Amino acid sequence: MVKALRMKDWRFSFIPVIFGLLYLFIYIGQGSSHPGIDIVLLLIGSLFTCFGFASFGYLLNEWADISDDAKAGKQNKLAYLSLLQRIGLLFLTLALLALPWLFLPKDTKSFILILIEISLFVVYSLPPIRVKNWLLIPNVIDALYAYVVPIYLAYHTFALHYGELLGAQQRLLLFFLLFVLGFRNILIHQINDLHFDRRSNKRTLPDFLGLQTSNQVLVAFLFTEGAVLLYFLVKVLFLGIWPFLLLLILCWIWLSRRNSIFKKPIVNQKIVYHPIRHLYDPLYQLLFPLLLLILLLQASLYWLPLLLLHLILFVPFSFVQHLVNKCRIYLSILVNYAIWLSFLMIGVDLKKRQQSALGFLGSIFQRK
Amino acid sequence: MDQKSDLTKKHLNANTRSSKHARAVGDFYNLRTNDFIEVYGEVIQAFRTNDIAEWLSYTLHSMGLAAHMNVLDAGCGICGPARFYAQQIQDLQITACSISEVQVEQAKELNAAAGLTERIKVQHLDYHLLSTAFPAASFDLVYFLESFGHSANQAQLLKEVYEVLREGGTLYIKDLFKAQDPDEWKQQRIDELCEDINQAYHYHIPALEVFLEAARKCGFRLEWVRIPQVNIETFEHLKISNDFQELFEVGKIETWSDYVFPIDFYEVKLIKPKSLSPADLHKYFMNQDAAV
């Protein structure tokens, strides 16, 4: 039943982006003070309402897609559930979405934003409007409900708690960036689903634009996003803490290499299926939140449980495992070199002798 | 070290793109041959039927192997097919070459165990060097069984084969060729998937039309090109391919609903035409063999 909520589709994609920005708001608002119960409640409330919004949106979309998916031969997990189960899930997600607002900071603007978000879900998925089958509009709406509106709501909630956190220009820049990110992601999603959509007689933006133009649009979006992102990172966030910016960029390059972004040649000069189309995603989804958590930890060690919770909830286990293994390898190199150098200082070259430190010490004691 | 090995070394040391690629293919098979054997057995080919003997028997007839022929197995793997052919046809003399030292060693051991050392001569050789390694017109038939695509310079390779084939000799290639689709999106996916395969297996999947143009420019006459004529019921289950895709992390087939098959398997038979004497030139028409 839980599979019908398609958690895998959002737990590691746009939810970590939202949380990365929540950590930014906390970092700006909190300064170097320890986290209090108020901020813990704020984070717990945000977590539940985020899960609620995401599940509700996906559930509604999946429900409205059942007949189209059947035509396209695409799997729809909700189709296997009874009507009663579907209604039960719908109420559950609505409760998850709404209940945290009993104690989260709110005002009229908060309710308007919640209403806009839910309206966008409805307009996108449900008949009679169902803009999902229109051209261009679904891309705009998707970018709005996946990134712009929820993050604006999050910003507003935290601003109610801390006071205004970003200047008007910075906010404009941030929401423009989020819109471009959202548009790019839905365009990629439509490219991936193109053949399914055709089977259900649905014509999405990339199909309408054609391969060449879609590629140009994707490239233009990547460049725009890159420029705004760079400006945002350098001027707004890390002006005074450039070593962290450097760390972020180094980790980003390492991750991009790991994801074969630079390894695979660009075929026919098109990036529509190339991993480079996801160039910035590791930055938003993985590195940016983790770096913000490190910055918070630097201010107060009380943030450690939040880092652990973030790793459990929003970082794929395979990545954590990979990271731990890498750390173990580097640590072992470090320890081994330290031992080798220590013995070298007393005139013993363990490498030349092809002996371990313990083996060498053992042989000395045996001789004695 | 014999003279031919020296030649290979010299060629491999030459700083050309083709020889660098050839060395990379050699290293790849040195490292991965045992993995291939684990999945495929002694016949390292992706296109195959469930009954491998039946499949090899098909290729034997398809390429036209016959007694007393002197043939070259270019990119022989561990000589699985060569041993089968030698066992089926008496007096068949096979020269086999591989760029992988590991494959050459394993092939020699297996050939010796089968008592075929004299009839299958295995050499460590870059097949781009055929004309340097063998006298002109040495072979009646040259065959490539899913090995032609490892060449980074296929036009050059065809020239080399042309040199070592006798007049009227046959070039038989069974390989994967890039699929073509009228839909631009599907074609892009095909091209991307082919690129993934090329990278993972050090391959250069040829486009059929490009290959045919190069072969004809070389002087070959096309006898036929066709899909291997095997009963689809006996076609190897894709599990074997998936096992391998998993090993190399290249496009495992999870579901058929959105799968685009990026390649077509074809077998191609080409003939090196016989020279006609001036007196016979008027006999030249579509099928030269019939004319002479």
- Nearest by CB to residue A272, choosing from B188, B196, B199, is B188
Average pLDDT, chain B: 85
For A211, the closest of B185, B192, B195 (CB atoms) is B185
Q: What is the structure's pLDDT at A68?
A: 83
Going from N- to C-terminal start, the domains of chain B cover: 3-291
Q: Does B189 sit within 8 Å of A267, measured CB to CB?
A: no
Give per-residue pLDDT as tens, B138-152.
999 999 999 999 999
pTM over 0.90: no
Q: Are B205 and B177 in contact (CB under 8 A)?
A: yes
pLDDT of res. B292: 40
Interface predicted TM-score (ipTM): 0.77
Amino acid making up residue B246: E
How far the first Cα of chain B sits from its last, in Å, is 45
Q: Does A273 touch chain B (CB under 8 A)?
A: yes
Query: What is the pLDDT confidence band of residue B291, given thresholds at 50, 70 and 90?
Result: very low
Give the position of tokens 């991993």.
A275
Q: Which amino acid is at B148?
A: F
Does the beta-carbon distance from A196 to B258 stay under 8 Å? Answer: yes
| The predicted structure's pLDDT at residue B252 | 57
Fold of the CATH domain A2-240: Farnesyl Diphosphate Synthase (1.10.600)
Q: Where are the domains of chain A?
A: 2-240, 326-368
| Mean pLDDT of the B175-192 span | 94
Chain A CB contacts of B191 below 8 Å: 267-268
- In the predicted model, is pLDDT for residue B16 greater than 70? no
Picking from A73, A210, A264, the nearest residue to B184 by CB comes out as: A210
pLDDT for the residue B139: 97
Test A273 with B189 for CB contact under 8 angstroms.
yes
Q: Which residues of B117-141 are buried (b: 16+ CB within 10 A; e: fewer)?
A: eebbbbbbbbbbbbebbbeeebbbb
HSE of A180, CA atoms in CB hemisphere, 13 A = 24
- Looking at the DSSP bridge assignments, the partners of residue B165 are B139
One pLDDT digit (tens) per residue for chain A, 368 residues? 667 677 777 888 889 999 999 999 999 888 777 888 889 999 999 999 999 999 999 999 889 888 888 887 778 888 888 899 999 999 999 999 999 999 999 999 999 999 999 999 999 999 888 888 888 999 999 999 999 999 999 999 999 999 998 889 889 999 999 999 999 999 999 999 898 888 888 889 999 999 999 999 999 999 999 999 888 887 766 656 777 777 788 888 877 777 777 778 899 999 999 989 998 998 899 888 998 898 899 888 889 999 999 999 988 888 888 888 888 888 889 998 999 999 888 888 888 888 888 888 888 877 76
Give A-chain residues touching B258 at CB under 8 angstroms. 195-196
Alpha-carbon distance of A282 to B217, in angstroms, equals 49
Q: Say if domain B3-291 classifies as CATH 3.30.2320.20.
A: no
Instruction: Tell the residue number behind the tokens 């909700």, with chain if given.
Output: A78
DSSP state at residue B72: E
Q: Measured in Å, how far apart are chain A's first and last C-alpha atoms?
A: 70
Better pLDDT: A359 or B153? B153
Distance from CA of B179 to the nearest CA of A (A): 15
Going from the C-alpha of A89 to that of each of A80, A82, A92, the distances in angstroms are: 13, 11, 5
Other C-beta atoms within 10 Å of A62: how many?
A: 21
Instruction: Answer yes or no: are the C-beta atoms of A245 and A238 closer than 8 Å.
Output: yes
Q: Does B188 touch chain A (CB under 8 A)?
A: yes
CA distances from B127 to A122, B119, B158 (A): 64, 20, 10
Neighbours of A168 (CB within 10 A): 8
* Contacts with B, A 176-205, CB within 8 Å: 191, 194-196
pLDDT of residue B249: 57
